[in-house]
Amino acid sequence: MKLIGSLTSPFVRKIRVQLLEKEIPFQFVPENVWEEGTKIMDHNPLGKVPCLILDSGQSVFDSTVISGTLEYMMPTNPLLPTDPHKRALVRTMESLGSGMNDAAVAILLEHKFHEGEAVSKDWLNRQYSKIHHSLEWLDIRLKTTPGAFLLEQLSLADISVGCALMYLDFRRPEIQWRKDLPALAEYADRLAARPSFEGTRPPV
Ligand SMILES: N[C@@H](CCC(=O)N[C@@H](CS)C(=O)NCC(=O)O)C(=O)O
């Protein structure tokens, strides 16, 4: 199994963490999708990473499809509950993490492709608002759970949300969410101490 991706992408990190937690061996294939001459379109017509290549050669893309595929193909250390309602909640929180990443990446790209007056403040504010509302939602959710995780045990929700929170620290330090939401910050720190997160920290 091969995983095409970059070491800084939070979507790719989610899959790397999942593979490590499930103890599934894989080959990491680095790809810079922004470089001219990238070969990512040979595997994913959308030109995005992560892209998982199964041993059969079949491509699987979009991180949420990859994470679901890995769960039903590889039953070791399950990261999705069997109860349908809890599963829906975990998958929703996984999507919340992805949506936070989408917003944080959109801010990054607005600054990458526009300068000065051309930068849309409305667009940026829209993205910051999504991130702030998601952080508040997570803080409330965390207060309703007795343990260390968003549900009873580690799940795809924690992996996705953990990657999103750590991506904010990495790329959007101006948000300064930690001081207003200390319980959420502690939660992120607990996740960051796991070997799977430790081993997938973005290079500085
Ligand atoms: N919904 C996708 C988002 C993946 C994504 O946006 N990846 C970024 C890297 S962080 C990318 O490849 N961007 C290239 C582009 O948008 O053309 C997923 O969950 O896999």
Per-residue model confidence as pLDDT tens digits over 157-170: 999 999 999 999 99
| Residue 98 Cα to ligand 1 middle (Å) | 10
Q: SS3 of 203, please?
A: coil
Chain-centre distance of CA 30, in angstroms? 17
Number of Cβ within 10 Å of residue 58's Cβ equals 9
Say if 203 falls within a structural domain.
no
Over the stretch 107-129, which tens digit does the pLDDT of each residue have?
Answer: 999 999 999 999 999 999 999 99
Using the mean position of ligand 1's atoms as its centre, give its distance from the Cα of residue 110 in Å. Answer: 15
Domain co-membership, 89 together with 51: no
Count of structural domains within the chain: 2
Q: Which one of 41, 73, 105 terminates a domain?
A: 73
For residue 81 the two structure tokens come to 């509950």
Q: Outline where DSSP puts E strands in 18-106.
A: 27-30, 51-53, 59-61
Task: Judge if the upstream peptide bond of residue 50 is cis by omega within 30 degrees of 0.
Answer: yes
Could you tell me the pTM of the whole model? 0.97
Together in a domain, 42 and 115: no
| Residue in 104, 94, 90 with CA at minimum distance from that of residue 177 | 104
The verdict on the CB of residue 5 being under 6 Å from ligand 1 is no
CATH number of the domain encompassing residue 111: 1.20.1050.10
Distance of CA 163 to the CA centre of its chain: 5
User: Which range marks the domain in which residue 151 is found?
Assistant: 84-198
What CATH number is associated with residue 49?
A: 3.40.30.10
